[in-house]
Amino acid sequence: MRAPADSRGSRWATSTYSSGDRDCVEVAFVAGMTGIRDSKVAHSPVPATPGDAFAAFLGGAKGSGLDRTV
Q: Comparing C-alpha atoms, which of 3, 16, 6 is closest to residue 45?
A: 3
Q: Quick one: which H or E segment has residue 62?
A: helix 51-64
Q: What tens digit of pLDDT does each residue of 3-27 get?
A: 444 556 678 888 777 766 667 888 9
- Residue 66 — pLDDT band, cuts 50, 70, 90? low
> Residue 1: what pLDDT?
44
End-to-end distance of the chain based on CA atoms, in angstroms? 31
> Residue 16: what pLDDT?
75
Sheet holding 48-50, edge to edge: 13-14, 25-30, 33-38, 48-50
**Which residues, including other chains, have CB under 8 Å from residue 44's CB and lie 6 or more apart?**
37, 38
Note the pTM of the prediction, 2 decimals.
0.67
Q: What tens digit of pLDDT does each residue of 12-65 get?
A: 888 777 766 667 888 998 888 999 888 888 788 888 999 999 998 888 888 776
